[in-house]
Structure 1
Amino acid sequence: MNRTNYLIEVFCISGVIGIISRFLGGIETSYIILLVLVVIDTLTGMAVAIKNKRFNSKGLSKFIKKVVTYSVSIMTVRLLEIGILTLVQTTLLSQIMVAFLEVTETVSILENLTLLGVPIPKNFMSLLLTHLKIPGLGRIDIPGNSEDNLSDIEELIKYQIPTFNDQYIKRLLEIKFEVWKSVAQQVNIILREKDADNNELIYYKIMAEIELGFKEIEEKLKEEKIPREYIEECSRCSQHKVDKWLQKVKSICFSQESIENKKEQFIESLMVFLYQTILSARKGADNNGE
């Protein structure tokens, strides 16, 4: 059954590509480049999901959906060009459409590569979009690199955690902060999806990622053999802060703010929670005479 579905999906893609090729006129090469970029974006997105232990089988479905929707967009514009042949002969409109989609995929690929650890300069994305202009559109306005929003978490991991002398506290905080950074990356991805304007849906998606984060922390603490008393003390001190943070996340998800504002507010709320965790750990260490 799975093999049959796979063959049907491949047949659908082949059919769409075949139909599109009849309408492309002089932009076949640009369309092929766009398809290659879509494939690369899908593969790098899957790599990010695997790295963050969030991989599922929806990658192929998303790829097919993107190929179909992009193709329909290009076909619609190309049909318009064919329809106005009696007035003007042009492929400029379809070329602009393809170029915009190519830029969108390129930005997404660079974001995925950044999440995979490729050292892309923080201001590269904004520099690219500032200087890249498409005739008829001017400067392209696409949300920038989501990794910029996570740099503060990296600074906490690099500069705050090493100040603890107790190795168990230090390792416990490292595990927690790395997991929450991974969750923040997933939230950025969720808020980039097409259904991100559905407040209830994004709330439950984000809560599902947060629950997975708690489970991952618990598993890693067991693997690292952190003493039980450290884990229990940390849980006791942080439970109220966790409840308060989750309420904040809910209010952000159901607010009428823009998606970009919601991203920033989520990161800000997470940073407050992480700083509170640092302060609680420091008080606990002082009480234990670190």
Structure 2
Amino acid sequence: MRAPAYGLVCLTVGPEIRFRTITLSRYQVLSPAEREAKLLDLYADNVARVQRAAAFCAARGIRLYRLSSSLFPMFDLEGDDTGRAVLDHLAPQLRAAGQAFREAGIRVLMHPEQFIVLNSDRPEVRRSSLRTLAAHAETLDRFGFERTTWNLLLLHGGKGGRGADLAALIPDLPDAVRLRLGLENDERAYGPAELLPVCEQAGVPFVFDAHHHVVREGLPDQEDPSVRAWVLQARRTWHPPEWQVVHLSNGLQGPQDRRHSYLIAHVPRAYWDVPWIEVEAKGKEEALAALMKGTGEAG
């Protein structure tokens, strides 16, 4: 059986993969011409860094990469199209960076910030969440990544107790979002039992996170039988099942610690046949290297 593809999340602990940004307050004091010049410099540099991330992953045999959700600050500002115009100018560079991942056979995902709450009970939050999510989907489009869950766009369930609202609105999302969308369980609002029906009703895949599940349910560790049961339940939402992604992390000071450890000391047996595993560890590439060398504890 082929070893799982362990995924690098956004950055490295070393200097190899880092991205630049700008704060809203700093951006707002700039003139229109200064804004355009600043974003052109910043965006061009970040696109070049994305292309270097492809080379970094390819050189280390990393076949899964989570693209940073903060590559293009100010891109989703309401009433300001400066960022979009700058990305139009950088279209050839964006396509080249995306092509670097495809030529290397590296799958690319995106996981926007948790402030995106599509099922909020506040209309203004729903509008801003949709605008931000659409900007992320447009980013994937501009890199030339597929509008399928191969290039997953991942969210948490959002506002607790509003799973039915979330399931009902997903079919009306723009295709660039809907065709890539997946949902992940969290430690508070949406455990697997709450999230699975949403995924099944909306026809989107379920990304299972064993650490979130253990913390939320107060389980002794990730070897609890329910972990394997949820891996299999989640797999049934993936089409094809060979595209299934799970998240792997360990608690810093034990299974109930929400904080992520530096390396992965324990891979649950429940993950033994999962093909794609995103590693959420503070050690980033060092944690992946240990897993790929087989120095992590499996089971």
Which structure: greater helix fraction? 1
TM-score of Structure 1 vs Structure 2, range by shorter chain = under 0.3
Higher relative contact order (Cα pairs below 8 Å, separated by 6+ residues): 2
Which structure: greater strand fraction? 2
User: Which structure would you say has the larger Rg?
Assistant: 1
TM-score normalised per structure 1: 0.27
TM-score normalised per structure 2: 0.27
